[in-house]
Amino acid sequence: MPDLNDWTTPRLLSTAARLVEHAWNEELAVLGLTHAGVIALEVLDAEGSMVQARLSAKVRVQAQTMGQTLSRLEAHGHITRERNRLDGRSQRVAVSELGRTALVQARALDRNLTPGVGIGVDDLREKLKAVIRWLGSARWGEQTPQITSTTKDKDQPGQR
């Protein structure tokens, strides 16, 4: 393995994220879920039923991508679809009881995925949130956070 001390911060972050997602997906597969499916279930659980287009927008993915995720969730019984009463052409998607149970299990898996990594994790979480806010704002058409002397270290991702 190459010397990780020579890697840039973005390379470390990207590699760590991929490894965590692969490990998480392996664990979620037992529940009939994927990372994308858990995200969709979390939004539906928090905000209630909605049409696929709205769910896609909230998760920030294309409707076609969400359609594939929802088909998989439906095949495993994690969601239900019901014809929209206001617009007969669309369907409202909701979490099923089986989906709620799977979501609880997925959250437990998520909390326990990287045991022993808790040291300094609060600082890491703050820095990761800053990276997401900073880079995500441009990608998602939001205002880029302002850099001030008090937020410079907190809200602007640093590079090595």
Render pLDDT for 115-126 as a digit per residue (tens, 0 to 9): 666 667 778 778
pTM of the model: 0.72
Residue 118: the pLDDT is 64
User: H or E segment at 79?
Assistant: strand 79-83
Q: Where are the CATH 1.10.10.10 domain residues in the chain?
A: 17-115
Q: What percent of the chain has pLDDT over 70?
A: 86
Tokens of 23: 């490990």
Give which of 105, 106, 100, 96 is closest to 25, Cα–Cα: 106
- Residues 43-71 have a mean pLDDT of 94
The CATH class that applies to domain 17-115 reads mainly alpha
Q: What is the DSSP string of 71-129?
A: HHHHHTTSEEEEE-SS-TTSEEEEE-HHHHHHHHHHHHHHHTSSTT--TTHHHHHHHHH
